[in-house]
Amino acid sequence: MVGVVGGSGIYDPSRLEGSAEETVQTPYGPVQVTTGFLEGGKVAFLARHGRAHSIPPHRVNYRANVWALRELGVSRVLATAAVGSLNPAFRPGEFVLPDQFLDFTRSRPGTFFDNEVVHTDFTQPYCPALRAALEGAAGEMGISLVNGGCYVGTEGPRFETPAEIAAYRKLGGDLVGMTGLPEVVLARELGLCYAAVAVVTNFAAGISPTSLSHQEVLDLMATQTGRVLDLLLKTAAGLPVDKKCRC
């Protein structure tokens, strides 16, 4: 089964056939998931911020969400993320598939391994097979997409300062967001393939000529919601049954 995690602006699972809402009980709390079918394959849809966008990024129950997807039988996760750009080549409206990350989150639980010593390999944090599938689907749909970029995960809910953005750029960051971590880490710890479509909503602080606002993020995502959801669903429908990656 494929799991789709919708970020800002991606809340509606109505394109799934025979959809039904389920409450999945996990060791970390209950999670609301919508399951349905897409071209014969089962899909689980989860709205990261809740259906009403009521959960701020630092309060998302990432462990419960990822556990719930695995509990339902999900083996691959396609996620979305609204991001600011640190790289002038990645302009608002651009779709980017991160292939590396820098984690600057602080207070959110970031692992399932609290009571045992487990060191998980993150040489390839994002599943290369899923990224290739997303890139191929985007090409068939005529969607411009960049395969590769370093995602910087910050704590939020505030935006970053220009000084922080300058430091992240020096460290090699291309994109900055508040929800991609620890989601990608938790997925790998449970053996799930994971890839994210980052949608650039604005240039980050100190690069943008204006002050930042949450409304501009929502406004840009509103123009891209249909395209990014089409991309995720087309990719999900075309995935082969057998996994050939090391995730």
| The token pair that represents 164 in the structure block | 């922080």
Contacts of 107 (CB under 8 A, 6+ apart): 58, 155
The number of residues making up the chain comes to: 247
Give 156 or 243, the one with higher predicted confidence. 156
State residue 68 phi and psi, 5-degree precision: -60, -40
What was the pLDDT predicted at 233?
87
Task: With a cut of 80, say whether residue 5 has pLDDT above it.
Answer: yes
Residues 94-110, mean pLDDT to the nearest whole number: 96
* Per-residue confidence band for 135, with pLDDT thresholds at 50, 70 and 90: very high
State residue 100 phi and psi, 5-degree precision: -145, 165
State residue 215 phi and psi, 5-degree precision: -65, -35
> Dmax of the chain from CA atoms?
49
Give 48 or 13, the one with higher predicted confidence. 48
Percentage of the chain beyond pLDDT 70 is 97
Say what angle helices 214-238 and 128-141 make with each other, to 10 degrees.
Answer: 100
* Per-residue confidence band for 9, with pLDDT thresholds at 50, 70 and 90: low
Q: Determine the residue type at 200.
A: V
What was the pLDDT predicted at 215?
83
Q: What is the pTM of this model?
A: 0.93
Give 19 or 40, the one with higher predicted confidence. 19
Q: Which residues of 127-166 are buried (b: 16+ CB within 10 A; e: fewer)?
A: bbbbbebbbebbeeeebebbbebbbbbbebeebbeeebbe
Residues 37-55, mean pLDDT to the nearest whole number: 84
The 10s digit of each residue's pLDDT in 78-101 is: 999 999 999 999 999 999 999 999
State residue 70 phi and psi, 5-degree precision: -65, -40
* Per-residue confidence band for 38, with pLDDT thresholds at 50, 70 and 90: confident
Domains within the chain, CATH numbers bracketed: 2-238 (3.40.50.1580)
Cα 47 from chain centroid (whole Å): 11
Sign of CA dihedral 190, 196, 202, 206: positive
Task: With a cut of 90, say whether residue 177 has pLDDT above it.
Answer: yes
The 10s digit of each residue's pLDDT in 183-239 is: 999 999 999 999 999 999 989 998 987 788 888 777 877 777 788 888 998 999 889
What was the pLDDT predicted at 244?
82
* Per-residue confidence band for 11, with pLDDT thresholds at 50, 70 and 90: low
At 185, which helix (H) or strand (E)? helix 183-189
Average pLDDT over the chain reads 92
Cβ(189)–Cβ(113) below 8 Å: yes
**57: buried, middle or exposed (CB in 10 Å: 19+, 13-18, 0-12)?**
buried
